[in-house]
């Protein structure tokens, strides 16, 4: 109901002034509106983490510090959503490293940009060393993949419910609220000017590019947050080192707690040959 009312209001403003609607849409677009809370099913794993503050955000580490694996959450989410992955990674001798993004979970401030995440991830790599693997979910996927283009090193990457095209952020937002093309363009100009110093090239610059690491992309056919059509685009853009697994009936959130998805992701980090023998779609 609230989303419908907000969309109707923005559409009304857009008829009179797309620029004004774009400004209002930007203020809504850049804020999570609510912070994810630690769920009861995550509480035990969350409590066992060693916490710290790195570059202004709250970080979490499990295990003995050896063989670090980076976990990157998505929009309106938090590090504790990886609880099932943490348990299995620790059992196999890995040390999961995660953080609550700016303005998310227990981290203060407003939501950060892809450049903020690149900086945070680079700081974590400086602190914990090269990562044995990276597992990212949703918006965390393009953030993690962009960071891996720089100085951050990892062995393998698992991209869950991710998207390839950076402008999907604006398009999906506008589509969800029923905003027209003119308001979409006005929103894009606001994002460019206020977050990226007027850089018009961000929509290609920060989209997924050809990668040099083995990557497993996992997506669900009933994902109502990130269009499943983004999965094959991501794999194609990333190149021949990407492998795609489709799941069925899990949606955008349950995919993060599905035992088979967790098992495949951890197996891929541990040994890509083992992961290829698993049949996630069965």
* 7-47: pLDDT as tens digits: 565 666 556 576 877 788 788 878 766 788 999 999 999 99
Total count of domains within the chain: 2
Residue 267 has pLDDT above 70, yes or no: yes
Are 216 and 126 within one domain? yes
- What's residue 3's pLDDT? 56
Are 122 and 3 within one domain? no
Residue 132 has pLDDT above 80, yes or no: yes
Domain of residue 181, residue span? 1-31+167-205
The answer to whether the CB of 266 falls within 8 A of the CB of 86 is no
What's the pTM? 0.91
- Asked if the structure places residue 38 within a domain, the reply is no
Lowest model confidence (mean pLDDT) among 67-71, 108-112, 212-216: 108-112
Are 157 and 181 within one domain? no
Residue 279 has pLDDT above 70, yes or no: no
Are 106 and 233 within one domain? yes
The percentage of residues in the chain with a pLDDT greater than 90, rounded to a whole number, is 75
Are 60 and 191 within one domain? no
Are 198 and 277 within one domain? no
The answer to whether the CB of 77 falls within 8 A of the CB of 255 is no
Here the CATH number for the domain that contains residue 66 is: 3.40.50.1820
Residue 230 has pLDDT above 90, yes or no: yes
- What's residue 26's pLDDT? 84
Are 14 and 116 within one domain? no
- Asked if the structure places residue 246 within a domain, the reply is yes
Contacts of 225-233 spanning 24+ positions with Cβ under 8 A: 225/138, 225/161, 225/252, 226/138, 226/161, 226/162, 226/163, 226/168, 226/172, 226/252, 227/163, 227/168, 227/172, 230/162, 230/163, 230/164, 230/165, 230/168, 231/162, 233/163, 233/164, 233/165
Average pLDDT over residues 140-148: 97
Confidence of residue 4 (pLDDT cuts 50, 70, 90): low
Are 186 and 70 within one domain? no
- What's residue 20's pLDDT? 74
- Asked if the structure places residue 37 within a domain, the reply is no
Residue 144 has pLDDT above 90, yes or no: yes
Are 22 and 132 within one domain? no
Q: What is the mean pLDDT of the chain?
A: 90
Lowest model confidence (mean pLDDT) among 123-127, 153-157, 276-280: 276-280
Are 188 and 264 within one domain? no
Q: What is the pLDDT of residues 175-200, one digit of tens each?
A: 888 889 988 999 999 999 999 999 99
- What's residue 275's pLDDT? 46
Average pLDDT over residues 50-73: 96
Are 62 and 133 within one domain? yes
Residue 123 has pLDDT above 80, yes or no: yes
């Amino acid at each position: 109901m609230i989303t419908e009312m907000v969309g109707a209001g923005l559409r009304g403003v857009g008829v009179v002034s797309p620029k004004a609607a774009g400004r209002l849409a930007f203020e809504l677009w850049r804020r999570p509106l609510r912070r994810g809370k630690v769920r009861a099913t995550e509480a035990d794993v969350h409590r066992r983490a060693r916490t710290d503050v790195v570059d202004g955000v709250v970080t979490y580490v499990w295990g003995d510090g050896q063989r670090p694996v980076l976990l990157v959450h998505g929009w309106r989410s938090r590090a504790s959503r990886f609880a099932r992955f943490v348990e299995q990674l620790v059992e196999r001798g890995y040390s999961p490293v995660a953080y609550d993004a700016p303005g998310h979970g227990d981290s203060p401030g407003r939501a950060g940009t892809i450049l903020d995440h690149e900086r945070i991830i680079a700081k974590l790599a400086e602190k914990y060393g090269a990562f044995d693997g990276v597992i990212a979910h949703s918006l965390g996927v393009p953030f993690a993949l962009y960071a891996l283009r720089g100085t951050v090193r990892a062995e393998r990457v698992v991209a869950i419910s991710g998207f390839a095209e950076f402008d999907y952020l604006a398009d999906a937002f506008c589509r969800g609220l029923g905003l027209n093309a003119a308001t979409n363009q006005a929103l894009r100009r606001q994002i460019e000017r206020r977050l990226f110093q007027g850089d018009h090239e961000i929509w290609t610059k920060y989209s997924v590019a050809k990668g040099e690491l083995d990557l497993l992309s996992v997506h669900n056919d009933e994902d109502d947050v990130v269009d499943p059509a983004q999965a094959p685009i991501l794999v194609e853009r990333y190149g021949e080192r990407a492998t795609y697994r489709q799941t069925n009936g899990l949606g955008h959130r349950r995919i993060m707690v599905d035992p088979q998805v967790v098992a495949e992701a951890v197996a891929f980090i541990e040994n890509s040959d083992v992961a290829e023998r698993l049949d996630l779609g069965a």
